[in-house]
Amino acid sequence: MGKKKSVGLEGHASGQSNRPLSLPAHSLTLQQTVDELRTDVWSGLDDSEATRRLEDYGKNELGEMESISPLKILVAQVANAMTLVLILAMGVSFGIRSWIEGGVVTFVILLNVVVGFFQEYSAEKTMDSLRSLSSPTARVIRGGQQITVPSAGIVPGDVIEVKTGDTIAADIRLVYSN
């Protein structure tokens, strides 16, 4: 795993790296994007700069490849702050023998846990599906030469060559097409 430097989120624009561009890439001209990323459209980055950026930004990955654990999801649903407050309210309701109120709170807790569990479980399965669809390699231009690298090794400023039928291995800014 590559080291990631922790950077605060103040000023962070959604969809951009830890050091965002002055504007989202689609809002900048091609030359402004190239200048801000300190790259070259035709020769790309050199190997040493790509290695430095990989250490700086970390790997181009969606996240850890941890398997889905229904037990972990269930524990997280029960242990969240809102559920714990509701459990406390349920205990107080039953403690003062307010059976109807306690039953309603119990129903709300169960409903919250069940709905939250299925939503999170579904989201985890979707992330696993996205990981399996991600492209394992990409053709990049580094130092003027086209090479194939693992998609995890793509860094901001890489020039990626995409051909018909390729899976896009990272967020890209289209420079040229025919």
Task: Please provide residue 150's backbone torsions phi and psi, each rounded to the nearest 5 degrees.
Answer: -60, 145
* DSSP SS3 for 58: coil
User: Which residue is it, tokens 């420079």?
Assistant: 175
Provide the token pair at 25: 């890439």
Stated pTM of the model: 0.54
* Residues 106-119: tens digit of each pLDDT: 999 999 999 999 99
The CATH class given to the 25-60+135-161 domain equals mainly beta
User: For 18-52, what is each residue's pLDDT tens digit?
Assistant: 667 888 888 889 899 889 889 988 888 998 999 99
Looking at per-residue confidence, does 162 or 10 come out higher? 162
User: For 91-141, how does the pLDDT look when each residue is reduced to its tens digit (9 = 90+)?
Assistant: 999 999 999 999 999 999 999 999 999 999 999 888 877 766 666 888 999
User: How much is the pLDDT for 59?
Assistant: 85
Main-chain phi, psi angles of 77, to 5 degrees: -65, -40
**In angstroms, rounded to a whole number, what is the distance separating the alpha carbons of residues 30 and 8?**
28
Domain boundaries defined on the chain: 25-60+135-161, 70-132
Length of the chain measured in residues: 178
